[in-house]
Amino acid sequence: MYRRLQLCSNRGGFEAIPEPPHPIDLRAAKARLEAAGVPVVDARVILIASLGPEVTISRAGRLLFKTQDGDEAERAFTRLRILLGLSGKAGRDAGEPGGG
């Protein structure tokens, strides 16, 4: 589902976008994260999780890692993928920055 992490256009973080699109059940995601001891803010249409970097999780499945450190973003993505049962790997993309 997730194929790459890419630097956002403003270079303020990294994003992972599911391909093909795959919505996330935010209520279930919040419960799983909290059960694992991860602090979560529920902003109704998004979740904000503290996984080292702050991670914004959208209903559409888009993940935004608020760090400029690609290694930190990859570690947070790996942990999030395990906690939420997300499929795929998101290695960093050397191409153009995304829209984050």
Specify the pLDDT at position 94: 40
Per-residue model confidence (pLDDT) at position 74: 92
Q: What per-residue confidence (pLDDT) applies to 100?
A: 57
What pLDDT does residue 88 have? 62
pLDDT at 19: 87
Domains in the chain (CATH in brackets) are 2-90 (3.30.310)
By the 8 A CB rule, do 20 and 95 touch?
Answer: no
Letter string b/e over residues 6-44, b meaning 16 or more CB atoms within 10 A of that residue's CB: bbbeeeebbbbbbeeeeebebeebbebbeeeebebeeee
Q: Which amino acid is at 55?
A: V
pLDDT of residue 93: 52
pTM for the whole structure = 0.83
Q: Report pLDDT for 96.
A: 41
Residue 89: the pLDDT is: 59
Which residues of the chain register pLDDT less than 50?
Answer: 94-99
